[in-house]
Amino acid sequence: MGKSCVRFKTLDGLPVDLIGEALARTSIESYIQLYQSARKKW
């Protein structure tokens, strides 16, 4: 799909714990700021 797309062939290959840790490290405020700045480029 897009340049940020990561595909896994099966759910067994999906590192759920690692994804959870990465999401937990990002504050809601910083995610919103990142999202809004990305939307401005469109």
Count of domains for the chain:
1
Is the predicted pLDDT of residue 16 greater than 50, yes or no? yes
Tokens matching residue 24: 């937990």
Amino acid letter for position 3: K
Q: Indicate whether 34 pLDDT > 90.
A: no
pLDDT reading at 2 higher than 70: no
pTM: 0.48
Is there a domain that residue 9 lies in?
no
- Rounding to the nearest 10 degrees, give the CA dihedral for residues 1, 8, 32, 25: -150
Domain containing residue 32:
15-40
Is 2 a member of any domain?
Answer: no
Give a yes or no: residue 33 inside a domain: yes
Mean pLDDT of 2-7: 70
Residue 10: predicted pLDDT: 85
